[in-house]
């Protein structure tokens, strides 16, 4: 039965386990293993079979084998560095047990003369005699040796034997948990219980059985736990009663009529969904997801305009000041003097900042643009009704929850992301939010022509660039590394900058991760003003502002990037009214996967299609940089291989929400799967 004690045992510190002291506990914590529950998800990578006993005459060199023998002679040399040796035999031959750095007393204790002993270890041969070096599996009781055991990815300082003993101790004491799934779901997994599934997960014969009932049941558990958390956040936010935003669409029509382009169908649909949320008495918590260049900004600014017309203030937050400045300039252009807008910048003088803060508190500013600084404690709004967060892909569920709370009950939240991701990942990462998607590109946008070029033909690229610059275009040149690396054969941004400025004097600038923030802003502004023609950069330009005059991007060592990242980089060009070009430079020796990636990018400009293909080729962990950041969404579930389980969990959640089902029986499930920091607030 599910009790507090059950939950308490599984999430208790590993020091509670027999044989785990402070030293061993600290070694585990280096691998981010703190609780008993954590240990259950460190899966065996293979197993060793010690169950079969072999006669000495049939031993195979290089293999781990088990043999029952009788020690008959000790050899303890007095010369330092020579090993202790125990001569052993059975009726078919002889074998030596060799010990380095072991005391005589220890050797005599585990291998007493003339007594049958079972030994297991890797067989080698020296001077025509079989031997086992430093055997760790030695016992008079053969049953303690002759079994199959798992091989785990070991933490340094913890032996295979100790690790297996700890895991077996946990499996032996696993509590019986009352089932949280309904009959229909259980039948999908052949009615296997959580406890049975865990035991099977660690059974040697089951290593690598990812499509088995026990594995899929446990994968489904963590998917459902994640979806339940998101569902509860949505439910809690929807329960918040807010003041409706009342506005007439005549204002929206007047605004859109001034634009020199028409909204796409996807833009119209997304704007309608946002407007419905704004006009309802339930708090909006929505993600506007769109491919690069799909026109999310104009949708969000139109919604902001409607909110201002309903009597509320709006805050627009971006990750960089230069992006905030770009949004501010666009708003100035489309709103003209109809509403009061301002920019809170780190470069603003103290007096100016103080005046802006004062105006916000008096509702003399309708829309404020800025970075996270606009949510500092000293910044008070008179009547904040709408928060727009651009490029929020680094915000986790918990951060979004806190953001929603910060805005207050009457404040609607719209987050925007230009990172298209597959459906299964969208359900997982953004499941706490309502979703609007813009896939359709504006008809005025040219598709970026994409080519691949061998590194040895760089002269052809230089000729092309010269022609483009003469025609008035600017160029991004992207390199993977800042400086040369002895280990990696990549071009460096610094080396390429030195190379290019000799060919294009006074026309090249350099930007990378070590560039000071203020200097970065200056460089990007100068590029935006067309003060130089080529910007050599690392991938820090991947997400950011529009450079309408930048029509060429060169990506070096393109085979080293993932598809989604290449697509994001490619999206930096083609934002004006000219045909843009992306050139993928690669070395001659490409892997099959690298060839596939480059071909997919050349064939498609649809970010959603590209992200699906990227996930198939690379695995879901790399799509948003989770592997690099150390964040992993799931321990077992995989959106590629378990897509059917994601759909099953999604349908189950929809049914629960429709029936207004009490989720109390799932409380332990959610707490177990690393969601306690959020669940304590919402359940």
pLDDT in tens, 94-116: 999 999 988 899 999 999 999 99
- Are residues 27 and 113 both part of a single domain? no
Across the chain, mean pLDDT equals 84
Decide: residue 373, CB within 10 A, 0-12 exposed, 13-18 middle, 19+ buried: middle
Per-residue pLDDT reduced to its tens digit, 253-263? 989 988 888 89
- pLDDT at residue 629, as a whole number: 31
Please give the backbone phi and psi of residue 390, each rounded to the nearest 5 degrees, phi first. Answer: -95, 145
Does residue 455 form part of some domain?
A: yes
Q: What b-and-e string marks burial along 574-611, b requiring 16 or more CB atoms within 10 Å of the CB?
A: bbbebebbbbbbbbeebeeebeebbebbeebbebbbbb
Confidence tier at 406 by pLDDT (50, 70, 90): low
Confidence tier at 72 by pLDDT (50, 70, 90): very high
487 pLDDT more than 50: no
- Are residues 83 and 17 both part of a single domain? no
- Could you tell me if 424 and 639 are in contact, meaning their C-beta atoms sit under 8 angstroms apart? yes
Please state the domain count of the chain. Answer: 4
Does residue 174 form part of some domain?
A: yes
- pLDDT at residue 260, as a whole number: 80
485 pLDDT more than 60: no
Does residue 314 form part of some domain?
A: yes
620 pLDDT more than 50: no
Which of 30-39, 193-202, 241-250, 672-681 is predicted least confidently?
A: 672-681
**Chain Cα centroid distance, residue 213:** 27
399 pLDDT more than 80: no
Q: Which of 604, 627, 652 is the last residue of a domain?
A: 604
Does residue 467 form part of some domain?
A: yes
Confidence tier at 602 by pLDDT (50, 70, 90): confident
Alpha carbon distance 130, 79 (integer Å):
23
Beta bridge partners of 47: 150
Q: Which of 418, 438, 458 is the last residue of a domain?
A: 438
- pLDDT at residue 489, as a whole number: 43
Global model pTM greater than 0.85: no
Does residue 179 form part of some domain?
A: yes
- Are residues 366 and 486 both part of a single domain? no
Q: Which of 410, 438, 466 is the last residue of a domain?
A: 438
Alpha carbon distance 303, 274 (integer Å):
7
* Rounded average pLDDT over 597-625: 71
- pLDDT at residue 628, as a whole number: 32
Q: What is the CATH number of the domain that holds 350?
A: 3.40.50.300
Alpha carbon distance 622, 640 (integer Å):
13
- pLDDT at residue 115, as a whole number: 95
- pLDDT at residue 598, as a whole number: 83
486 pLDDT more than 60: no
- Are residues 189 and 328 both part of a single domain? no
* Rounded average pLDDT over 304-312: 94
Alpha carbon distance 474, 498 (integer Å):
18
- Are residues 373 and 264 both part of a single domain? yes
- Are residues 393 and 495 both part of a single domain? no
Contacts of 479 (CB under 8 A, 6+ apart): 490, 491, 492, 493, 496, 536, 537, 538, 556, 557
- Could you tell me if 247 and 309 are in contact, meaning their C-beta atoms sit under 8 angstroms apart? yes
- pLDDT at residue 635, as a whole number: 84
Report which of residues 221 and 486 the model is more confident about: 221
- Could you tell me if 461 and 450 are in contact, meaning their C-beta atoms sit under 8 angstroms apart? no
Alpha carbon distance 557, 222 (integer Å):
37
- Are residues 59 and 111 both part of a single domain? yes
357 pLDDT more than 70: yes
- Are residues 255 and 354 both part of a single domain? yes
Does residue 475 form part of some domain?
A: yes
- Could you tell me if 430 and 302 are in contact, meaning their C-beta atoms sit under 8 angstroms apart? no
- pLDDT at residue 490, as a whole number: 46
Q: What is the CATH number of the domain that holds 98?
A: 2.40.50.140
- Are residues 31 and 105 both part of a single domain? no
- Are residues 124 and 12 both part of a single domain? no
CB atoms within 10 A of CB 48: 19
| H runs (alpha helix) in 59-177 | 104-110, 160-172
Does residue 105 form part of some domain?
A: yes
Alpha carbon distance 317, 233 (integer Å):
22
Which of 4-18, 31-45, 305-319, 360-374 is predicted least confidently?
A: 4-18
Residue-number span of the structural domain to which 186 is assigned? 4-46+167-209
- Are residues 195 and 139 both part of a single domain? no
Q: Judging by DSSP bridges, how do beta strands 129-133 and 64-75 pair with one another?
A: unpaired
Residue 409 per-residue DSSP state: T
- Are residues 403 and 287 both part of a single domain? yes
Decide: residue 9, CB within 10 A, 0-12 exposed, 13-18 middle, 19+ buried: middle
Does residue 453 form part of some domain?
A: yes
618 pLDDT more than 70: no
């Amino acid at each position: 039965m599910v009790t507090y004690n059950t939950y308490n045992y599984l999430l208790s510190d590993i020091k509670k386990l027999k044989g785990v002291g402070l030293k061993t506990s600290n070694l585990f914590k280096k691998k981010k293993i703190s609780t008993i529950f954590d240990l259950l998800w460190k899966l065996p990578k293979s197993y060793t079979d010690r169950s079969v006993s072999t006669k000495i005459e049939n031993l195979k060199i290089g293999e781990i084998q088990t043999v029952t023998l009788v020690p008959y002679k000790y050899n303890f040399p007095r010369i330092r560095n020579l090993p202790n040796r125990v001569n052993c035999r059975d009726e078919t031959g002889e074998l030596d047990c060799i010990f380095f750095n072991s005391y005589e007393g220890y050797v005599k204790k585990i291998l007493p003369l003339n007594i049958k002993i079972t030994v297991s270890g890797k067989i080698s041969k020296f001077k025509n005699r079989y031997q086992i070096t430093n055997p760790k599996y030695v016992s008079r009781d053969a049953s303690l040796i002759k079994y199959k055991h798992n091989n785990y990815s070991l933490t340094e300082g913890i032996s295979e034997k100790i690790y297996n003993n700890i895991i077996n101790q946990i499996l032996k004491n696993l509590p019986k948990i009352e089932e949280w799934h309904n009959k229909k779901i259980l039948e999908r997994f052949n009615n296997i219980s959580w406890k049975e599934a865990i035991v099977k997960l660690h059974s040697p014969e089951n290593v690598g059985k990812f499509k088995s009932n026990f594995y899929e049941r446990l994968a489904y558990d963590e998917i459902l736990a994640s979806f339940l958390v998101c569902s509860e956040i949505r439910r809690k936010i929807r329960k918040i009663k807010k003041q409706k935003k009342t506005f007439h669409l005549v204002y929206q029509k007047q605004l859109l009529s001034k634009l020199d382009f028409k909204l796409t169908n996807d833009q119209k649909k997304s704007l309608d969904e946002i407007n419905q949320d704004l006009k309802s008495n339930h708090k909006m918590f929505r993600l506007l997801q769109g491919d690069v260049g799909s026109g999310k900004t104009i949708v969000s600014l139109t919604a902001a305009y409607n909110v201002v017309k309903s009597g509320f203030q709006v805050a627009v937050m971006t990750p960089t000041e230069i992006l905030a400045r770009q949004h501010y300039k666009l708003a100035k252009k489309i709103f003209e003097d109809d509403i009061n807008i301002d920019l809170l910048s780190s470069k603003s003088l103290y007096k100016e900042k103080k005046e802006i803060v004062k105006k916000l508190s008096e509702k003399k500013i309708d829309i404020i643009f800025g970075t996270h600084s606009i949510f500092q404690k000293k910044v008070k709004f008179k009547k904040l009704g709408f928060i727009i967060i651009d490029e929020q892909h680094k915000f986790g569920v918990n951060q979004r929850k806190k953001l929603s709370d910060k805005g207050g009950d009457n404040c609607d939240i719209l987050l925007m992301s230009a990172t298209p991701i597959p459906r299964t990942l969208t359900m997982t990462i953004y499941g706490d939010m309502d979703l609007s998607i813009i896939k359709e590109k504006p008809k005025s946008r040219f598709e970026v022509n994409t080519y691949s070029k061998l590194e040895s033909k760089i002269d052809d690229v230089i000729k092309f660039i010269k022609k483009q610059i003469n025609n008035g275009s600017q160029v991004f040149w992207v390199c993977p590394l800042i400086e040369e690396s002895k280990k990696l054969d990549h071009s460096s941004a610094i080396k390429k900058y030195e190379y290019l400025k000799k060919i294009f004097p006074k026309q090249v600038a350099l930007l990378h991760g070590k560039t000071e923030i203020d200097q970065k802003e200056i460089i990007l502004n100068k590029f935006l003003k067309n003060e130089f023609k080529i910007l050599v950069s690392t991938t820090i330009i991947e997400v950011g502002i529009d450079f309408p005059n930048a029509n060429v991007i060169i990506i070096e060592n393109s085979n080293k990037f993932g598809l989604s990242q290449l697509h994001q980089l490619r999206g930096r060009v083609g934002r004006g009214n000219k045909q843009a070009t992306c050139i993928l430079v690669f070395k001659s020796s490409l892997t099959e996967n690298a060839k596939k990636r480059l071909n997919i990018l050349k064939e498609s400009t649809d970010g959603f299609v590209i992200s699906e293909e990227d996930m198939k080729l690379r695995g879901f962990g790399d799509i948003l940089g989770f592997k690099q950041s150390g964040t992993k969404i799931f321990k077992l579930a995989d959106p590629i291989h378990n897509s059917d389980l994601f759909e099953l969990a999604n349908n189950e959640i929809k049914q629960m929400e429709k029936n207004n089902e009490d989720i109390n029986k799932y409380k332990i499930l959610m707490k177990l799967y690393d969601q306690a920091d959020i669940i304590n607030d919402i359940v």
